[in-house]
Chain A
């Protein structure tokens, strides 16, 4: 029973209180603003030590195909990271030689369709949301990443920390040269 709530489990339908829903919706917006501002120290401060940040690669398959492309962690994934691994990726930006980040990319994260549910654990909440992340860089490079997220957020000391996130990007072929962004 001490296990963290999962992002696999279907919706319980048990809506969290208005107060918690409001606080977590504001938390998602704050997170999006920090990512837009490249305030990665501020973002990392919102991540739990036992974070699992997962964005599977999803192939186009027929409906009858039962291959588990979402929860099978042995398959290829854009992200399948713990907190240390996210920090490793971010440390590239501190080197001063991340050439493709200078000039900076201009980001906007739009977060919508927020639903907050209670879980089996009193201090953990399941949060569904949709995102639209827009990037523009150099003269006219631009792309849009759109998808759904299922998160587990944990209350800790009056704030919330992200414990789990599963991101389902709607691309089959990612229509972009790279993924220098967190969703």
Chain B
């Protein structure tokens, strides 16, 4: 799409020095920077809009936001998915007010303009009032996004006509994503429903917390961990055998002990299920990934999706102004799981990472205060420290991405803000550098990566 603002004063690099390891706090509070984020990041990124399992049948729809743009996501009769603005081209009113459902058409409440599930204008109330030549129906459908793509169940859309394909956007991060999306035959689904809350904090605090901040977990969540596991403290972190991996601004921090996040969920039956499954997972994804899955880990997909592999919360941080976001949360499970295990996972997620969860309760308060203190003009010009582990980058034979040793690290956060800067300053998305050069180019499945099973 045409972006009038792009190219104007691309000087966002003054807000950070990632080689030194600091950020300027204004990126978490300034209204002008937030407005530029909507144009430069949210109107140009591949954004998560749905999981395929939420739209099993033709006519199934859900409503969501891409940045602050309201969109409808629908399953077409031919099985494809379309995404278009939830806004009538006549006066702009919303045409759908439900969170989800099944329909044959969307009719605007204002003047009765009716659209099929492909978003095409089919007719309107008192159509005779339009003379010949007044309206071209073909040009007055609901505004479609530029591209829709999916990766192993996750559906993404972008308003950008040009720029990287979804595969290139995700890049080598697919190697990590497959631990969540493809650890068992049949893939994943979201449990029914969606629980939403409002947090008066900048959206990036949620993303960066999940992308790399294992460091906060043992302190912020001491009470959560002890409550779910009979008083036991947070599992110990092995700084030698745990990592940060960053790819194109996405990030996954993880141990290799295999059980930490499963332990934090506090549901022994779920732990047993995965322990039994682990040899199969090793056959499917290789030994390394079967050891990573279930470990203390957290991850984010640039720009605003996060999840905890093993704990199974899946979430999106929807921006609502510089100092507020809406948190949408789901529970992600393997389709092949027996129903009682799905129920165990769902209960576990809601008891840990629902709004009333023993972990979630302590996060919101932190992020709100990290944000709202920046109302102070002196405070907002102070720098924030992002230097932890800055010297620990390694080359790793198996792990793709920009890899740092030790999961207590700010490396993935620095990787995220590097991509934020790339997007904020890019006039041509195609020219954005891959970070780093991909290993998976030309490989259809991440399990086909040479050498994966040799280790």
Residues of chain A touching chain B, judged by Cβ–Cβ distance below 8 Å, are 56-57, 59-62, 65, 67, 69, 72-81, 85, 88-93, 95-100, 172-181
Contacts and interface: CB of A to CB of B under 8 A. Distances in A.
A100 B195 CA distance: 21
8 contacts: A56-B193, A59-B98, A78-B356, A85-B351, A95-B231, A96-B223, A173-B196, A173-B326
Contacts of A181: 356
Nearest to B362: A100
B215 to A, nearest CB: 15
Interface string B179-219: 00000000000011111111110000000000000000000
A99 B356 contact: no
The contact size tier of chain B is 35 or more
Nearest to A175: B198
Interface class of chain A by DSSP: loop
A77 B350 contact: yes
Contact of B356 (A93, A100, A180): A180
A174 B355 CA distance: 9
A60 B94 CA distance: 15
Contact of A100 (B98, B231, B342, B365): B365
B361 A61 contact: no
B350 A78 contact: yes
Interface of B: 97-103, 191-200, 220, 222-224, 226-228, 231, 266, 326, 329-331, 339, 342-343, 346-347, 350-351, 354-356, 358, 360-362, 364-366, 368
Nearest to A174: B197
B224 A92 contact: yes
Contact of B355 (A75, A80, A100, A179): A179
Contacts of B97: 60, 62
B51 to A, nearest CB: 13
Contacts of A91: 226-227, 231
A145 B198 CA distance: 13
A106 to B, nearest CB: 15
B198 A85 contact: no
B200 A92 contact: no
